[in-house]
Structure 1
């Protein structure tokens, strides 16, 4: 009897450790600060950018040619941050897997872009019911991490009829103007874009900024006014940055769009609780 109990206990421990290991997955970061993870779509593995600002999952044309794509009769019309309209057909993922964890009922779009060895973009769609932790210190992703007693900021969820999902939070610029900013891990590191409409409200003179015309991957050109912002705060004053490099962008469809790395080194995005928890 004792031997059987001992065997059961060992098996339970091994199962627990196995589940704990499977709940974590390593990531790499490229030169621009994008988080690169491995995932399987329709049982084909690829390299994907983890992009909290993408809205929906997307694969690039070259990778799509490796898959048997199950096209639906549905489509999604969205806009990139600088205004380009994207009219995208939707495909059912017959399998969607990260680090041996399966995510059900996922869809993706096919976008005609070529980013070298990057095969597509993973959005927040798989994580509606799964808290997602990005650990920049140890370069790993953790699923379902406990967040007891951690600091946090509130987020707002933009759910486009279940087909696309973005997250936002409120911040203050120069401690005077409260705006809502898209939180976009796909922007890389230390990326701070704000609508050029805000410059007048902040009493900023465009002549004091460097005007740079920038053409997007979809050939649309927008003027970027590049310079310094005195101060940025979260509305609960948990985080404060001073003297940061920013761009005020003509035609930006959001009040603001920032990367997420400035929030902390270990971040848990909990969509159900509408919070980002900050451990480090």
Structure 2
């Protein structure tokens, strides 16, 4: 092989490996603002919501019939945001692949729900050691994107003995009340829920809000107080919202729960660094 041909071959190998490392994975956004990706579990492809608030990977019953679940002796007991207990058996995944990138040593739960043509939820579990970038502008997901010189917010990691993982950050309401909120892409777009316990510290009168009793999929009913909040920001003031529609919720197990779209158009969730980097 001539030196010129050898150089060309090296360039091709570099280009090919770079395209895999920085592969751009297209996603859809449905009407409610959920991020829909294609993934394979046990080599069977399905459509999944990328859900940073799910805690653990989950597939719905209909999809579980397409694969051969490998049940373990492990289980996870958690709670939905409005308090309902979930006691879920865990299954070993032979493989989980997203755009031919394989994530090993993954588990999932089977949940008896139906959500249109969606087959389940992909949580942050696969991305414990892999920064993931969500590009809302171009509707692409990237892995290992450079975040050099980008601004960021700090996140706190809730790691439930390796079985489930959630991310939180501190925010300020009306520049007066500092709380910790779970960041939940599974909430869709422009979703802002706060514990009704915060209405008194914020000097908000329930009579000024619309009271809506909401029954969950698990038949638990909670009152939602629907109205406006003047200001919301991250504690470093990097991300701000004014005059937003919110819900104060009785029985919410978090101080706050928000979607992630308000943080920016291009977000890199870096769990090892405990940061979300914001490109724009």
How far apart are 1:257 and its partner, in Å? 0.1
Corresponding residue of 1:206 = 206
Corresponding residue of 1:2 = 3
Equivalent-residue separation in structure 2 for 1:82 and 1:16 (angstroms)? 45
Equivalent-residue separation in structure 1 for 2:10 and 2:141 (angstroms)? 28
TM-score (norm 2): 0.97
- Mean CA deviation greater in 126-135 or 2-11: 2-11
Equivalent-residue separation in structure 1 for 2:237 and 2:12 (angstroms)? 47
How far apart are 1:175 and its partner, in Å? 0.5
How far apart are 1:240 and its partner, in Å? 1.8
Are the counterparts in 1 of residues 33 and 189 from structure 2 also a CA contact under 8 Å? yes
Corresponding residue of 1:260 = 260
Corresponding residue of 1:11 = 12
How far apart are 1:219 and its partner, in Å? 1.5
For residue 74 of structure 2, give the secondary structure of its aligned residue in structure 1.
Answer: strand
Q: Point out where structure 2 has 5 or more consecutive residues left out of the alignment.
A: none
Are the counterparts in 1 of residues 21 and 143 from structure 2 also a CA contact under 8 Å? no
Alpha-carbon displacement from aligned partner over 1:220-243 (angstroms, at most 9, x marks no partner): 111000000011111111122111
Alpha-carbon displacement from aligned partner over 1:173-209 (angstroms, at most 9, x marks no partner): 1111000000000000000000000001111000000
Equivalent-residue separation in structure 2 for 1:247 and 1:234 (angstroms)? 18
Corresponding residue of 1:177 = 177
Count of paired positions: 279
Equivalent-residue separation in structure 2 for 1:270 and 1:52 (angstroms)? 12
Equivalent-residue separation in structure 1 for 2:21 and 2:239 (angstroms)? 31
Equivalent-residue separation in structure 2 for 1:3 and 1:272 (angstroms)? 41
Are the counterparts in 1 of residues 137 and 265 from structure 2 also a CA contact under 8 Å? yes
Corresponding residue of 2:154 = 154
For residue 6 of structure 2, give the secondary structure of its aligned residue in structure 1.
Answer: helix
Equivalent-residue separation in structure 2 for 1:42 and 1:259 (angstroms)? 29
Q: Work out whether 1:36 is the aligned partner of 2:36.
A: yes
Corresponding residue of 1:26 = 26
For residue 63 of structure 1, give the secondary structure of its aligned residue in structure 2.
Answer: helix
Corresponding residue of 1:103 = 103
Q: Point out where structure 1 has 5 or more consecutive residues left out of the alignment.
A: none
Corresponding residue of 1:188 = 188
How far apart are 1:2 and its partner, in Å? 2.5
Equivalent-residue separation in structure 2 for 1:147 and 1:103 (angstroms)? 22
How far apart are 1:19 and its partner, in Å? 1.7
